[in-house]
A and B are shown apart, each in its own frame.
Chain A
């Protein structure tokens, strides 16, 4: 954020008053009193490691959201909205605090690093996200579907996966 010389003093002091809060260089926001960290996809694993060292040693939840029908959601200015978001909830048992990571994942390259090596408990959750959203986890030891049958087409929790698309057949009914 380089100050341009023709900026008025008032404006720059206003800017200085409200610096974008951040942690490990990632913009940090507050959602209804909960701490949210918007992590860049490339730095995701790195930040998760640093947080684990800080005490956030337990990954309680990992899920994803398909924002294709709600792209204009509020995000910090430095974050570009993508179709998918991987949402990770971390817990620090010692200090009794929680933090949430939100990682933007583009549609064309739906791939993120796996947290498996750091938090083995994400194994099933990452498989579920892969199963439901088609987001791949790079380095996951067992990237197979978990809830849907192996030969299922499509990813059910994507917004473009319509409900009720399987025709219902009634036995003995006139067709």
Chain B
């Protein structure tokens, strides 16, 4: 048996080793379609001779795979016949780690999954914990609006990162510098608010770690005033360019029914014309009190996914402007002694406060028995958190439904019978974050 490398059964098997039905089954599995559906496709390539096809590896260390994603491609000439993503190179057992950390510490763990939108990860974990505690209705207004502000700014920074990498992958190399530059402006704001550029651990069960710093409004306004002009530049550089359009339009097409069957969410699902955004259709925080438009595509191709993300930055800016007007005064975290540590000043004057502080940070707080699944809209799609608690201060099981992990299943489907040169455009348009795929 000719093994291509050492991952064994996880790899794409050579065509010669497969019987016809096995091949159909494997093609079906790689396509993520049932056997019956695959047979109906009818346009499966006529069994090419072994010497006409070639299996090549792309990755795991390849600049356009956004991390350590490995793709095995079976090519006939320049056409991709089969494709299989092989993942796990970044697997660090974060769900197992989540079982060792208390609910208090859990945020540090989940924030490292999708490192391009850490605040959304913290948010979904905190919301799941709050639901288990039964305090999800008591979170102060200011905390809710602050969470929304951070979540939307994070969506902007994540999509700006996508603009940078998508441009770079397709040869608009200067776009990389511009995208990173604008993202840095947002990250600078995060640094001022949370102390860190990434992996903030700022959204915590019960509210947030701290209040917004003085002058935050001016900082946000500076970003909002700067960005529209820069986004116009992106339009000039990419959206209107014939080369850019040639490269993306009609590439990596997926239909609404396929996207739904594959469980794809976020810009991939919306690019097919399906209106589905949890901010609108299953509102959390205070998204039902702000006005924004859903950006929906019509062709389901890579260009639609690019345009959706670009315009979602604009919609996020619109939401942030409304948040600036509507941000209420008040507490930034719930005043529930069970989950909230005492204020720093109290520790100096009260023994009880000191003991309380010590207990809450060493033992954590106990969370009632039960299980919940909470989902929010991250820049990549539906991020969900399933927590089962046995009544102790650590989650009995903590599972994160990572949008990239599910969305990456679309790759074989989008690449099938496309050109190998378009593979990069397709990977880029799915915008996977491998930290989240492998967890």
Contact = CB atoms under 8 A, between A and B. Distances in A.
A157 B128 CA distance: 20
A132 B400 CA distance: 14
14 contacts: A60-B263, A60-B265, A73-B390, A93-B260, A119-B263, A121-B262, A125-B405, A141-B29, A142-B26, A142-B29, A145-B88, A149-B88, A156-B96, A161-B96
Given A120-B261, A122-B263, A146 B88 contact: yes
A54 interface: no
B406 A120 contact: no
A120 B33 contact: yes
Given A73-B369, A73-B390, A157 B95 contact: yes
A112 interface: no
B287 interface: no
Interface of A: 31-32, 34, 36, 57-61, 63, 65-67, 69-70, 73-74, 87, 89, 93, 96, 98, 100, 116-117, 119-125, 128, 132, 141-142, 144-151, 156-157, 161, 163
Nearest to B10: A144
Contacts of A67: 396
A119 B33 CA distance: 9
Contacts of A31: 370-372
A17 B238 CA distance: 66
Interface in B180-218: none
Contacts of A132: 95
Interface stretch (B43-51, B54-62, B246-254, B380-388): B380-388
A32 B282 CA distance: 16
B131 interface: yes
Interface of B: 6-10, 25-26, 28-30, 32-37, 87-88, 91, 93, 95-97, 100, 131-132, 134, 260-265, 274, 276, 281-282, 369-373, 375, 382, 384, 386, 388, 390, 396-397, 399, 401, 405-406, 408-409, 438-439
B315 to A, nearest CB: 20
Contacts of A149: 7, 88
A148 B8 contact: no
A34 B370 CA distance: 11
B131 A32 contact: yes
Contacts of A63: 386, 399, 401
Contacts of B33: 120
Given A63-B386, A148-B88, 12 more contacts: A32-B370, A61-B399, A65-B397, A87-B386, A100-B373, A117-B36, A121-B409, A124-B408, A128-B405, A144-B8, A147-B87, A161-B96
A57 B274 CA distance: 14
A156 B405 CA distance: 18
A119 B390 contact: no
B8 A150 contact: yes
B34 A116 contact: yes
Contacts of B260: 57-58, 93
A68 to B, nearest CB: 11
B9 A144 contact: yes
